[in-house]
């Protein structure tokens, strides 16, 4: 029974992202970057982005952390690469809404790509911080860019 | 050996142990963070509010007198618990506040070049106040290393404690490694150089008796909530002469002798340190926790906890890829054992255990410098208490194996 | 008019009110010192310990998450109570600690010649921290006088609040005279000179609603135990920008972002101020007290307390040699009324009342400068709350008459 | 009933001492003095003594306070005037013992003179501070003299 619940949290796609993270590494010349920390567990993620003409042309991350935070960062980079700032901000808002248990439209859901599966975390409140760490970080970067 | 029989009486006192967590019986193994509270403590708080609640040291009526007596009686109970006198006991919020107050009061007593010696195994609460003191005074922090088994190295201590040393401070028991510092030797080294000693007793008080006279401790800090008492109450013990030499840290009602518009004089110790209405119910609850410990008796507590630590080791050792930090000898651990499982992240493991009703800690345990020193990012930590039983640690080991299989598949 | 009918529901919630004191039914009229606690508050504390106790902001398991949620929910409850946001609410031990923290944090911001303006009616807890700040920085204290009715004089305030003024601080309600300061006007005067305002809300919170936004309060300090909540928990409200600009006052676990051996960085507000394990049960108990007040409703509380104050005046006025200090109008008194009876010493009177089961305060009420200002050595003080009834103050008046006869015979 | 208890506390002799205190005033050249304060109620007592050849040749007090503290100071001065330091110390010890509810010998009791009646305060713990303020003050003076 415990394992069943665990499988619900760590879906295959989550484990895959964690084991083979996408966009891991550093950008040569990022236009913005941020360092994020979950002080409870010590997870650290550094996000670097390249923004050109209000479009996220590249994004990478480094750091270490639990399966959820790593998979979530990997999914985030996949989802937002190539998006305009405004669109990326909408996607982040949708992701945060979904993960806190709200229902979003199917179109919005599709836009989340793999990250959509992370919504199962809504049932595991102790891990929401892990799943949203990178997303909050990107939101902060984009807010500053928008200014 | 199952010691559930020995503990069954104690478990009845803790209502929370009968609750479910994630549809499983709760197994609470984060006692180093905070212990659960027995009915005896909760009822002492209720009884205070329902029969004696009034402000202390002020009223001239009988109810206020009763409240004051109960509060001061709590002070005496704490004093006796560590072989001090009542005037040497100051009630604070927590270990953290106690340590901050000592560090703050030495701002006027240290100079550039003075040294404060601590160990690499300290909790943030016993590091950052000293960093602040160092910044304000120009003093320097010096960290004693651990030996390979995780023990505070006396060889290194001899190097670090010098004529420049003004303060030597360390956790009696580490909240990560669970190991006891060589307190007698460290205090002797410190006193030989005329340095004062500040002992962080947070993780020690619930596990064995402490005699401040015999150990010749100058200052001792601890928290009620880590020894079966309520939150919001801590203790700062200081030798009488040292406390008298300290200025108050907070100012206001209760600690005052006389006030004019522009001047004020203070009461004697301990009251000069207790500005404003104190946590009266908290002090009474802490005294009830001490009475509770005394009723069970140290001998029973120690033998139960040692047997439990042995069982914990035995069960964890059946897992091949599990690394225990610090000493590999159960007797060296006082209620705390930190470990990692293969290269799995502690956070993921903790979630798996949580789904099985098991509450253990994953993370840095407010000891980042120690994590750096051990070259780990985080650990898992089991911390036990008088109400835990070997069947519980057996279940932890079983689930750990299942989790390893799950994450490795 | 007897309002005992209106209160009977409330009285059931306070078990202590059914007890006896010196073989007489307890009449508790020292509510300005500390109020009694309703079962709802005591049960919230018990429920926390029996079902959710764990340390906050640390654990990754469900129980710890529940504890953290309850603790942070309590912060939100407090914030809503005064129309603030949760991040502007810092949990402290008491009003006294809150005031000390503000005063301490201005040590780095004041200079010689700066002025701190307060009133002559302050409680020691809102005097001595400012005396200390003045001593450390070379700033000067300036005291606003009272007018003949005991009101804080706005004419004098206009004189005292000048371009030199950096801080204006005062009790919203005086704990001796029970009178409300002209808060809106004082804050406007202060802000016109770019001074910040620090409001001692200790005696206000239980009696009427406070809206920090509307009043434009910069800092507000209050205690849980004076508003039907537990001991050991207080609140420091500060405007977001001001709190962000303040350095933490205590250092250690929970308030930390990152720590190395020699450096540390802090969390955001409000957590950067809450070092160490906070009084978790205390915060939850305070939130329960606020819920309790909300359930009764301000309208009912205010009309009950006003009727009671009228009854108190009416009864006391039947005693010829009794002098009431401050305003002679009941509506000006918020739960507090100070008086003397002929030239009898308050202490002797209080003992006589105590023998009749009546708990009222005799003394200087932690306000020596005000005693000097009023040219009295001490006073008697009745302070009322939602559970008091006019039959109680009637009995006080009756016993006062008997006592006068006894001592004069 | 309340008045009965009150009478027990405020015996006639107590009221008399309070209304007409003995040895109130100041000494011209005291050899020692002390200022005492009960911070709860604001009572203040100043004791002045003249000690010659280890004998308390004179003692006076000023101050203000409740009936009990005034009467007690008045009784104290009566009781100890003319005594040797050692004897006065013994008298103080006996007084404090008696007031905290202990039984003392009849001889010791007689030596307390009027102050013996204050022992009824043992039943009124809220007032013990008032009744002992001056006595603790003299004890402190004598301890310093003895050094
Ligand atoms: C006006 C006023 N300010 C401050 C305080 C201090 O409150 P606390 O003792 O809870 O810190 C009090 C209570 O005695 C008070 O009445
Ligand atoms: C060794 C040690 N020191 C200090 C502390 C701080 O205790 P508190 O949070 O009660 O102030 C702790 C608890 O986390 C600890 O384990």
Domain CATH code at residue C398: 3.90.1150.10
- pLDDT single digits (tens) C269-319: 999 999 999 999 999 999 999 999 999 999 999 999 999 999 999 999 999
Query: Rounded to a whole number, what is the distance in Å from the CA of D38 to chain B's nearest CA?
Result: 9
Is C310 part of any domain?
Answer: yes
All partners of chain A with 3 or more CB pairs under 8 angstroms: B, C
Q: Are residues B376 and B305 in the same domain?
A: yes
The helix-helix angle for A128-146 and A85-99 (nearest 10°) equals 160
Of C65, C69, C258, nearest to A37 by CB-CB distance is C258
- Residue C59's pLDDT band (boundaries 50, 70, 90)? confident
Q: Are residues C52 and C137 in the same domain?
A: yes
Minimum-distance ligand 2 atom for the alpha carbon of B174? 1
pLDDT recorded at residue A123:
87
Cα separation, C288 vs C168, in Å, equals 32
Q: Are residues B269 and B335 in the same domain?
A: no
8 A C-beta contact, residue C325 and residue D100: no
Q: Are residues B57 and B176 in the same domain?
A: yes
Q: Are residues B329 and B288 in the same domain?
A: no
pLDDT recorded at residue B85:
98
pLDDT recorded at residue C2:
45
- pLDDT single digits (tens) D46-100: 999 999 999 999 999 999 889 999 999 999 999 999 999 999 999 999 999 999 9
- pLDDT single digits (tens) D121-131: 888 988 998 99
Q: Are residues B8 and B153 in the same domain?
A: no
Residues B10-22 have a mean pLDDT of 97
A116-125, B293-302, D85-94: the lowest-pLDDT one: A116-125
Decide whether any atom of ligand 1 lies within 6 Å of the B58 Cβ: no
Upper half-sphere CA count for residue C336 (Cβ side, 13 Å): 30
- pLDDT single digits (tens) C365-382: 999 999 999 999 899 999
CB contacts, 8 Å: D40 with chain B: 57-60
Q: Kindly report the average pLDDT of chain C as a whole number.
A: 95
Q: Are residues B383 and B261 in the same domain?
A: no
Of A3, A15, A41, nearest to B347 by CB-CB distance is A41
- pLDDT single digits (tens) B202-254: 999 999 999 999 999 999 999 999 999 999 999 999 999 999 999 999 999 88
Q: Are residues B390 and B278 in the same domain?
A: no
Q: Kindly report the average pLDDT of chain D as a whole number.
A: 92
8 A C-beta contact, residue B292 and residue B40: yes
Q: Which residue of A has its CA nearest to C61?
A: A126
| Angstrom distances, CA of residue B269 to CA of B252, B256, C95, C374 | 15, 11, 22, 31
Q: Which residue of D has its CA nearest to C381?
A: D41
Cα separation, C224 vs C297, in Å, equals 18
Nearest-ligand number for the alpha carbon of B205 = 2
Ligand 2 centre from B95 Cα, in Å? 6
Q: Is the pLDDT of residue C6 over 90?
A: no
Query: Rounded to a whole number, what is the distance in Å from the CA of C64 to chain A's nearest CA?
Result: 9
Residue C264: CB atoms within 10 A of its CB come to 21
Residues A85-104 have a mean pLDDT of 95
Q: Are residues B120 and B211 in the same domain?
A: yes
CB contacts, 8 Å: D37 with chain B: 257-258
Query: Rounded to a whole number, what is the distance in Å from the CA of D21 to chain C's nearest CA?
Result: 15
Q: Is the pLDDT of residue C179 over 90?
A: yes
Which of C224, C259, C294 is the C-terminal boundary of a domain?
A: C294
Q: Is B94 a catalytic residue?
A: no
Q: Are residues B81 and B16 in the same domain?
A: no
Q: Is the pLDDT of residue C65 over 80?
A: yes
Asked if C184 reaches chain B (Cβ–Cβ under 8 Å), the answer is no
Is C22 part of any domain?
Answer: yes
- Residue B1's pLDDT band (boundaries 50, 70, 90)? very low
Cα separation, D99 vs B7, in Å, equals 47
Is C37 part of any domain?
Answer: no
Residues C53-82 have a mean pLDDT of 95
What CATH number is attached to the domain comprising B175?
3.40.640.10
CA quadruple B394, B399, B404, B406: dihedral, nearest 10: 160
Catalytic residue among B302, B366, B376, B397: B366
Residue B73 phi, psi dihedral angles, 5° rounding: -65, -35
- Residue A43's pLDDT band (boundaries 50, 70, 90)? confident
Q: Which residue of C has its CA nearest to D4?
A: C355
Q: Are residues B76 and B214 in the same domain?
A: yes
Mutation to probe ligand 2, out of C253, C254, C259, C281 (largest number of atoms < 8 A from CB):
C253
Q: Are residues C322 and C234 in the same domain?
A: no
Model pTM score: 0.95
Q: Output C264-271 pairs: Cβ under 8 A, ≥24 positions apart.
A: C264/B124, C264/B127, C264/B128, C264/B131, C267/A39, C268/C87, C269/C87, C269/C88, C269/C90, C269/C240, C269/C243, C269/C244, C270/C75, C270/C86, C270/C87, C270/C88, C270/C89, C270/C90, C270/C91, C270/C243, C271/C57
Instruction: Give the DSSP H or E segment for B281.
Output: helix B280-296
Residues A97-108 have a mean pLDDT of 93
pLDDT recorded at residue D39:
72
* Cβ pair B363:A40 closer than 8 A: yes
What is the span of the domain harbouring residue C151? Answer: 42-294
Q: Is the pLDDT of residue B89 over 80?
A: yes
Cα separation, A31 vs A27, in Å, equals 9
Residues A36-61 have a mean pLDDT of 90
Asked if C235 reaches chain B (Cβ–Cβ under 8 Å), the answer is no
pLDDT recorded at residue B8:
52
Cα separation, C66 vs C274, in Å, equals 19
Query: Rounded to a whole number, what is the distance in Å from the CA of A66 to chain B's nearest CA?
Result: 5
Ligand 1 centre from C365 Cα, in Å? 10
How large is the ipTM? 0.94
Q: Is the pLDDT of residue C8 over 60?
A: no
Domain definitions of chain D by residue range:
2-146
The total number of structural domains in chain C stands at 2
Architecture field, domain A2-146: Alpha-Beta Complex (3.90)
- pLDDT single digits (tens) B356-402: 999 999 999 999 999 999 999 899 999 999 999 999 999 999 999 99
Ligand 2 centre from B243 Cα, in Å? 22
Taking CA atoms only, the protein residue closest to ligand 2 atom 16 is: B175
pLDDT recorded at residue D42:
75
Decide whether any atom of ligand 1 lies within 6 Å of the C92 Cβ: no
pLDDT recorded at residue A139:
96
* Cβ pair A127:C60 closer than 8 A: yes
């Amino acid at each position: 029974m415990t394992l069943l619940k665990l499988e619900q949290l760590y879906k295959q796609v989550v484990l895959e992202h964690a084991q083979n993270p996408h966009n891991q590494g550093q950008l040569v010349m990022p236009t913005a970057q941020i360092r994020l920390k979950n002080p409870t567990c010590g997870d650290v993620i550094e996000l670097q982005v390249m923004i050109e003409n209000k479009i996220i042309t590249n994004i990478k991350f480094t750091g270490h952390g639990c399966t959820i935070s790593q998979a979530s960062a990997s999914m985030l980079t996949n989802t937002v690469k190539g998006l305009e700032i405004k669109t990326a901000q909408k996607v982040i808002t949708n992701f945060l809404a979904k993960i806190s248990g709200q229902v979003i439209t199917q179109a919005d859901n599709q836009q989340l790509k793999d990250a959509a599966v992370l919504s199962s975390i809504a049932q595991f409140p102790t891990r929401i911080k892990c799943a949203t760490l990178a997303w909050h970080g990107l939101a902060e970067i984009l807010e500053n860019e928008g200014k | 050996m199952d010691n559930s029989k020995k503990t069954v009486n104690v478990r009845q006192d803790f209502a929370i142990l009968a609750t479910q967590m994630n549809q499983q019986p709760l197994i609470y193994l984060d006692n180093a963070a905070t212990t659960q509270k027995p009915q005896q403590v909760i009822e002492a708080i209720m009884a205070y509010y329902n029969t004696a609640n009034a402000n202390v040291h002020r009223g001239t009526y009988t109810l206020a007198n009763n409240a004051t007596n109960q509060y001061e009686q709590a002070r005496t109970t704490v004093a006796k618990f560590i072989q001090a006198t009542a005037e040497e006991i100051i009630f604070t919020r927590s270990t953290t506040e106690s340590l901050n107050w000592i560090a703050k009061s030495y701002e006027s007593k240290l100079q550039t070049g003075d040294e404060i010696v601590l160990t690499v195994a300290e909790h943030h609460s016993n590091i950052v106040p000293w960093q602040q003191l160092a910044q304000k005074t120009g003093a320097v922090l010096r960290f004693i290393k651990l030996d390979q088994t995780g023990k505070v190295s006396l060889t290194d201590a001899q190097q670090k404690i010098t004529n420049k040393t003004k303060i030597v401070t360390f956790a009696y028991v580490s909240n990560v490694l669970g190991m006891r510092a060589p307190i007698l030797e460290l205090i002797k080294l410190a006193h030989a150089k005329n340095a004062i000693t500040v002992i962080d007793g947070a993780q020690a008080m619930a596990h064995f008796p402490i005699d401040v006279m015999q150990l010749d401790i100058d200052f001792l800090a601890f928290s009620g909530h880590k020894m079966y008492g309520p939150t919001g109450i801590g203790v700062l013990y200081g030798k009488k002469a040292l406390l008298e030499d300290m200025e108050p840290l907070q100012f206001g009602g209760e600690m005052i002798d006389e006030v004019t518009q522009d001047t004020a004089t203070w009461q004697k110790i301990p009251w000069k340190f207790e500005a404003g209405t104190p946590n009266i119910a908290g002090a009474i609850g802490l005294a009830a926790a001490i009475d509770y410990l005394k009723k069970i008796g140290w001998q029973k507590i120690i033998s139960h906890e040692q047997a439990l630590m042995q069982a914990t080791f035995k069960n964890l050792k059946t897992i091949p890829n599990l690394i225990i930090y610090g000493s590999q000898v159960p007797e060296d651990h006082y209620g705390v054992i930190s470990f990692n499982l293969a290269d799995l992240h502690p956070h993921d493991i903790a979630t798996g255990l949580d789904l099985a009703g098991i509450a253990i800690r994953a993370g840095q345990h407010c000891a980042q410098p120690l994590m750096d020193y051990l070259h780990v990012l985080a650990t898992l930590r089991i911390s036990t208490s008088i109400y835990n039983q070997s069947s519980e640690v057996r279940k932890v080991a079983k689930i750990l194996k299942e989790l390893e299989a799950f994450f490795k598949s």
